[in-house]
Structure 1
Amino acid sequence: MTCPKPRLQALLSAWNAPQRSNAGFSRVPSTLRKLHGTAKCAEEAIDTSTRRHKVIFSGIQPTGIPHLGNYFGALANWVKLQRNAAPEDELLFSVVGWHALTLPQDPKALQQARMDMMALLLAVGIDPKRSIVFHQDHIQNHTELAWILSCITPTGKLRRMTTWKTRLAVSRNANDESEVDDSLLNTGLFTYPVLQAADILAYKATHVPVGDDQQQHLELTRDIAEGFNRAYKTPSRLFPLPEYMTTPSKRILSLKDPSAKMSKSAVDPNSRIVLTDTPAQIKSKIRGATTDSIQGITYDPVARPGTSNLLSILAACTDDDVLEVAKRYHNRNHGDLKADVTEVVEETFRKPRAEFERLRGETEYLTQIAEEGAAKARSRSDATLREVRHRVGLA
């Protein structure tokens, strides 16, 4: 391994430092009061702050190579969770193939994308010896539990999900959500939050790392779990109410339109940096990123969204505070900022990109990892489904 350039070495000083702990993950009482608004609900909820161990679950769709926003919003956070987890904690990370079917897919492309995503999870640092890594669609318990939970979930709750119309609208590049006719939306788009709840509850997960755009779905999961616990409360409450584990990184925005988050579905490929981009592509995309003509560098997401987005990317790559990063660039220009962002992004993606390219061709190994992970996940979810079937009268 060669030593980084002097400027890059300074920028990455935080990279080799001990990771900061995520102390906010276990603040149970305040989280419960925020969700339900009453002390009574907080008292009734299962207290995971004193639980012997955590069960952490999260999933990622196998559609498209993850971009910089996906990496810092989910994947890098999963690796940190794995590294900081207590020995008794359980971690489950799933490639959620069934969720991908809510939009049209080419079967061969989806099959390859599923394999690629498994390779990518391993490439970024998910260790199958420490975490359970598996394909959601290998475990039939997810769909069975989703059907049972859908039978106790009011349609009114699903209609309030802000994503059920916008996902299709975005896929069609619609500018106005109201332009989408309800009759054109498939049932899967309407009910997939229930499947998402089943993904989590099948393992009695106590903690779920989610971004801002998925918090409403986790609230629904908690509502569904609480509804099941009330309806089938004998001999005891079956499901814990999973807690939020919010990512500590800032939201990464589009390089071309910093009013929107970085997206796989954006028409302009130069709006995002994906893990497989070459150094030349990364340099070109960052050099062409939208900024402004104001002299000096300051962090102001409202007045200077493009400049602030580059500062956020730099802070995320160096694991530093964005305001501290902004202070160091106060008397510098956008050229300096873009050059430094280019270097740290390339250094961040260099090893995962090389490992991904190596692993994606090892089909037998990836299949073996997926099968071993599925066996572990099936064993755990089988136990949950036996309890569920017994309680609803299907044992």
Structure 2
Amino acid sequence: MSTIAERVAGFTSGLQADALPADVLEKIRVTLLHNLAVALADDVVTGVSFRYAEALGAGSGARLFRTGAAAAPDTAAFVNATMIHARAQDDVYFPGLTHVGATLVPAVLALGEELDASGADLVAALAAGYETAGALSQGFAPRTTPRGFRATGVYGVLGAAAGAARLLGLDTATTADALGIATSLAGGTNQTWVAGSQEWLFQVGFCARNGLLAARLAAAGGAGAPDAFEGAQGFYRALLGEETDLSTVATDLGETWRVRDVTYKPLPVCAILQSPVTDALSLRAEHTLTPELVGAARLSLSPGEAAYPGTDSVGPFRGAGDALMSAQFCLAVALEKGTVTASDLLRTDDAGLLELARRIAVVPDPALASRSFRLEIDLRDGGRVEHVGEDGAADFNWDREGLLAQIAAMSAEMPPDEVVAGLVDTVLDVENRSVRDVVSAMVTS
């Protein structure tokens, strides 16, 4: 019987863009455009990444987004990943709690630029990465997250390795080696959300860079454990802390396309909070709410989401990372301002905002399913505003028109219109362009 690595590699190593279902091809175009668009939008946290690249000195083979500075592919993969993730607005695969795009896209763009790869090969590499990360995280991330592992850190590198291996043209056996090697490069904890530190940003960079490393090592003859995933001392046993049935993992690749379930984020806040904060903005407008009118508020979430590190926090906030995770902080911004922008994530010493946040409670409710919520706002005049949302992530599985509308809504935080238009034109025709064309569309200075 084949191993998990062999099953995944057998599928991904032979992927061709022209063999993808039409809706999957379109989904990859739209998803790539979403991730690149949010990388161009304003953010408040990528200074460290740029200073890191500057300290390394000039490299060659790839370029950084925005500046176009030449860099080695592994450096470009790291820095560009942090740009995609900086606003916490990149895509998410909810069944695996993983930000696949921020870990995969920069890896294959950096490698593809070095190789002067075609847009069609880029599409195939992206499909390989999304399906790999999705299949290997689905059903496991909800079990590994309570143990302290950040799903993006431990599963994202697997997608990046598969995508890089496909772009390098590795055969099935060598791709399986790359995946095996990648299991030893997986890691990352959720303590960052509690501490307000920046590992959350760096983790996506580690995945992108390490995915390249795993594929290159395999291409150079490096061997990965054949049973790296299911072995008695392997990936899943280590992460789960117990044995589990792995017989069906990755057996439906090519039948189930998990990229179809990748969703997007309209706001620079945590994925769990997208629907609650979006609906809070609507309630504020509908009922003309102001902070002075709000007496108290309660956000009820499924127990797992209410307990996700950083979700239930009234501070003190140490930076943008713990602010964007806090339901209280993000709802307070929405109710006070009527919108949420990246710059709001730095308002962690705003006394009025924090006082409003302290009037908001997060309530775990076993009756609520994942991605569902109930928002109750008690008014000081004795009234109440209430809204129940179910499976909010479905609202953000945009098509092309929906994404273009979202990009337009972000225009105040985006580069000049001609830059954005050039990116849109290039990415929506990606299979007929080159990787270098895509990266060039990301250079704004």
Q: Normalized against structure 1, the TM-score is what?
A: 0.31
Q: Normalized against structure 2, the TM-score is what?
A: 0.28
